Structure 1
């Protein structure tokens, strides 16, 4: 091959693969309509999104022979206003026994403003900071035995506290079994009388 033919091969455009016109438009729009800076904006908001990713919506073309995926910007989704976790519902077999644990050992207070007579079962609402735990005296479908020894490997409710060492001393004084965080961070795990796993993680404020 001489130098002229080599230069011509370098200047000639690469072969193209024919695509459906609508597929071409979709491919290009997916590149330019959702740049990463737009997709991951506000990624720290709970309940919104995590990391960099895009969402596509499948749509059948008019001619019926191709599926067109239209990119949907995450910022176009309805923001329904996530504020916080309002409460966590926990099942208990005996309300008085559970209240002894949550009130007398953990020191939580009942929210007297929450009605009980409107529900067809006994229960209590306990303040956890500005949120609540709702104890419900109902049959528990979960087994009480055979649960993971470490509550962090089970369904659990996490409560932020200021002093893990003080709570550990309270558990020791009352004979409450517990495990510490496997990662070494200041957190302690325990179970209530109905084997509901609770995590208490230490925070600065």
Structure 2
């Protein structure tokens, strides 16, 4: 069989301010910044294990207000993480709101400064 999917290479997220987004993704969450091609708009590439997150600085077509409080009830990207408790503590220290998974598994949901939701799940 040909033409099969091998995995997700990256997810792109729209952000209003690259520096503000990097303060969250790089400085609070700890994702490493990667080299980015020369593109005609601001943004940043970040590493997340074997995958990447591409931050694209563009006008956001989605409303930031009025989104579900719990990110699990909205579009989101899910990450497997190790050390979820340490990440939770960094979020608290930075004053970033989050909600714990309602399924009872070790996971939390958090939004970036532009309202993009993500799930952080403790890897088995």
TM-score range, shorter chain: over 0.9
Superposed counterparts of 1:27-38, under 5 Å? none
Match of 1:94 in 2: 17
Distance in 2, Cα, partners of 1:122 & 1:169? 30
Q: Distance in 1 between matches of 2:11 and 2:95?
A: 25
- Residue 120 of structure 1, CA deviation: 2.2
Instruction: Using the TM superposition, give the Cα deviation of residue 81 of structure 1 relative to its aligned residue in structure 2, in angstroms.
Output: 2.7
Larger radius of gyration: 1
Q: Distance in 2 between matches of 1:151 and 1:137?
A: 22
Q: Which residue of 2 aligns with 1:106?
A: 29
- Which of these residues, 179, 185, 193, is aligned with residue 99 of structure 2? 179
SS in 2 for 1:168: helix
Contiguous gaps of at least 5 residues in structure 2: none
Residue matched to 2:67: 147
C-alpha separation in 2, matches of 1:201 and 1:151: 13
Shift >2 Å, 4+ stretches:
none
Aligned equivalent of 1:66 = none
Provide the residue aligned with 2:86 in structure 1.
166
1:126 aligns with 2:53: no
Distance 1:106 1:166 in 2: 10
CA distance in 2, matches of 1:152, 1:125: 24
- In the aligned structure 2, how far is the partner of 1:178 from the partner of 1:200? 10
TM-score between the two structures when normalised by the length of structure 1:
0.59
| Structure 1 alignment gaps of length 5 or more | 1-77
Tell me how large the CA RMSD over aligned residues is.
1.0
Q: Tell me which protein shows more strand as a share of its residues.
A: 2
Tell me the TM-score normalised to structure 2 length: 0.95
Q: Distance in 1 between matches of 2:85 and 2:44?
A: 28
The count of corresponding residues between Structure 1 and Structure 2 is 124
Q: More helix by proportion, 1 or 2?
A: 1
User: In the aligned structure 2, how far is the partner of 1:110 from the partner of 1:121?
Assistant: 17
The equivalent of 1:135 in structure 2 is: 55
